[in-house]
Amino acid sequence: MTKTIYLAVALLLWAIKVEAATIEMKVYGLVCGFCAQGIEKTLRKNPATADVVVSLENKLVAVATREGTDISDQDLTRALTDAGYDVKGIARTQRSIAEIRESLRAK
């Protein structure tokens, strides 16, 4: 019985991991709309990217990944630093891109 519970919990955690995720990054060096466009274009080249939100005011870049895919922190950091930006933090969150957009509009 205990092994069954552990297996069920492990499968549930694995299922959560493979769902589409949102990656939020604090990025410094964003100063204009062209910066936002460039970051969005760069991140959309990755086949795992489903959507991107860039907020200059909040120094926020959020990436939604396609279901069952992921983008490593190293790949994200490399893409942004190669483009001339400074990544200060990366967090994987449960917030959807729609929720992030709404919270940015509310500010």
Sign of the alpha-carbon dihedral angle for 30, 49, 45, 90: positive
Domain formed by 20-106, architecture: 2-Layer Sandwich (3.30)
Q: What are phi and psi of 26, to 5 degrees?
A: -95, 120
C-alpha span between 29 and 70 (Å, rounded): 25
| Bridge partner list, 71 | none
What is the per-residue pLDDT for 7?
47
What is the per-residue pLDDT for 107?
75
pLDDT digits (tens, 9 = 90+) for 71-90: 999 999 999 999 999 999 99
